[in-house]
């Protein structure tokens, strides 16, 4: 495997819609107010932090030995494709890119974003890093909802308009719910392995059946809150039906496909919100 492919795998591209959709939606809601530089900076921040947290998780889980029985996508450290030091460096580079872009965005908009960005970076590292990672205690969904839903969407919207709107808040909840669904799929897939190593994710705590129901609930919340922003978002029910069928019957490695489908669903839902907002439907 060449250098590019291994780092692309480590970045986990199936999770990147969680960083793209909030920017897409927030910019559409803010239109016709549009600031290209601020939108680009928001996108760089979101993608950098998503990639950084993926590498950081790879590193932290790798050195703890909790990835040895994984059935999910390839992990760099556990598979031996990269050393722990290399993956840690990749995470730090991604964090730095996000921090620099976020700092510039803060200078252009509000210095309050510096504090929010710092909190996002600390929370990203503490998800699986450190002596008492909160991701091992079933609290990962809270981080994802706050930072990849509320902060990502509302931060982008604020960068465009200098204010917060009710529409943007509902859109942020929708994005946060789907982002949590992405994490839920990962954790459902890894229930058996995580249980063995004492990693008590929310899926482990809920158990397989209830964790799958929780995923369904998140998809429902995402569509409902999106509908309050734009009625055309109701069309997302069509791909959602397929998702709900998949989450009920998929096992083991089959859930990797559900992860990808959930990412595509987030882009579809984000696209519908954006289109509906722009044409006022």
Question: Would the pLDDT of 103 be above 80?
Answer: yes
pLDDT at 8: 87
Segment 210-268, tens digit of pLDDT: 999 999 999 999 999 999 999 999 999 999 999 999 999 998 889 999 999 999 999 99
Residue 81: closest CA among 9, 22, 180: 9
Query: 249-266: string of b/e by CB count within 10 Å (b at 16+)?
Result: ebeeeebbebbbbbbebb
Q: Is the pLDDT of residue 68 over 70?
A: no
pLDDT at 281 over 80: no
Q: For 207, what's the count of Cα atoms within 13 Å in the CB-facing half-sphere? A: 2
Query: Is residue 67 very low, low, confident or very high in pLDDT (cuts 50, 70, 90)?
Result: low
Structural domain boundaries, residue 113: 3-278
Which DSSP category does 32 fall into? T
Domain of 69, CATH number, reads: 1.10.600
46-50, 65-69, 248-252: least confidently modelled range: 65-69
Phi/psi at 74 (5° precision): -60, 135
pLDDT tens per residue, range 164-196: 999 999 999 999 999 999 999 999 998 988 888
**Residue 127: what are its φ and ψ, rounded to 5°?**
-60, -50
Yes or no: say if 79 and 5 are a contact pair by the CB < 8 Å rule: no
CA dist., res. 161 & res. 144, Å (int): 24
State how far the Cα of 268 lies from the Cα of 178, in Å rounded to an integer.
Answer: 11
Mean pLDDT taken over the chain: 91
How sure is the predictor about 73, in pLDDT bands with cuts at 50, 70 and 90? low
- Using alpha carbons only, how large is the chain's radius of gyration in Å? 18
The candidate with the shortest Cα–Cα distance to 31, out of 161, 159, 158, is 161
Identify the CA nearest to 24 among candidates 47, 56, 6, 55.
47
Our count of domains for the chain comes to 1
Indicate yes or no: pTM above 0.75: yes
């Amino acid at each position: 495997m060449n250098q590019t492919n291994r780092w692309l795998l480590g970045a986990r591209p199936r999770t990147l819609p969680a960083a793209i959709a909030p920017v897409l939606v927030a910019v559409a809601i803010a239109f016709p107010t549009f600031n290209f530089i601020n939108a680009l900076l928001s996108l760089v921040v979101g993608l950098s932090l998503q990639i950084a947290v993926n590498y950081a998780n790879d590193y932290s889980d790798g050195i703890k030995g909790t990835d040895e029985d994984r059935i999910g996508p390839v992990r760099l450290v556990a598979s031996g494709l990269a050393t722990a030091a290399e993956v840690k460096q990749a995470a730090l580079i991604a964090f730095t890119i996000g921090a620099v872009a976020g700092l510039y965005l803060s200078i252009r908009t509000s210095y309050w974003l510096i504090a929010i960005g710092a909190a996002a970076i600390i929370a990203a590292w503490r998800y699986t890093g450190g002596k008492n990672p909160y991701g091992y205690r079933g609290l990962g969904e809270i981080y994802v909802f706050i930072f990849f839903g509320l902060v990502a969407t509302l931060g982008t919207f604020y960068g465009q308009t200098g204010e917060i709107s009710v529409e943007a808040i509902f859109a942020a909840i929708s994005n946060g719910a789907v982002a949590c669904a992405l994490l839920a799929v990962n954790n459902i897939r890894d229930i058996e392995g995580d249980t063995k190593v004492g990693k008590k994710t929310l899926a482990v705590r809920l158990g397989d059946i209830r964790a799958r129901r929780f995923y369904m609930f998140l998809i429902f919340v995402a569509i409902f809150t999106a509908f309050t922003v734009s009625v055309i978002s109701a069309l997302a029910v069509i791909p959602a039906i397929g998702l709900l069928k998949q989450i009920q019957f998929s096992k083991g490695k089959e859930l990797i496909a559900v992860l990808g489908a959930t990412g595509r669903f987030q882009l579809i839902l984000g696209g519908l919100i954006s289109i509906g907002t722009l044409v006022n439907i």
